[in-house]
Structure 1
Amino acid sequence: MVEHPPRIKFKRPDKTARHIMNILNKEAVDKVRTERTIPDVQPGCIVQMRVQVPENKRRESTLKGIVIARRNAGIATTFRLRRLVAGVGVESVFPL
């Protein structure tokens, strides 16, 4: 008698949660692109931006630094900014 290995059951790719989340993520990215322009920020770019300070809702601070990384993750895309504060290097992560 020949023994066969157990049959592995695969789920249909169009029914998996990952596939559904990818579709929702693409739709959200398309919606954001129609509402506003997304800047083309790449590592090596020097950027200057105004950010509202969370502790004081009315105050805005200007940050200037160099982009050292970009993480492409659909709607959750972020970039890492390196700047000097009082002679000390500080890295901050911002959503795009």
Structure 2
Amino acid sequence: MTDTKTAILEARLDAQRRLLARLVAALDPAARQPVLDWLEQRDTLHDGQEDPGAVPTEGTGPALAISQEFRLIARLVGDRLHEVGQAEAGQA
């Protein structure tokens, strides 16, 4: 894959990640919390190792990428909620 194609895929992934974060942040708090809990439960690879990924094994690459993606989405949700909270505080 060329660098241009990789850059385009990464940009698209980033756009989707940001959209998902905004959608989760826009949920009513009662609906948002179960989603955040779900993300938190999946942001660490549970493979029985004390330090997941310390000893790479076949197939852990995609699993680690998935957990990292969940972690990034959760972080973006937190950032968005912080931004909204600051904006609302400024309007008060």
Q: Which has the higher helix share?
A: 2
- Tell me: higher relative CO, structure 1 or 2? Use CA pairs within 8 A at least 6 residues apart: 2
User: Given the two structures, how large is their TM-score scaled by the length of structure 1?
Assistant: 0.30
Using the size of structure 2 for normalisation, the TM-score is 0.31
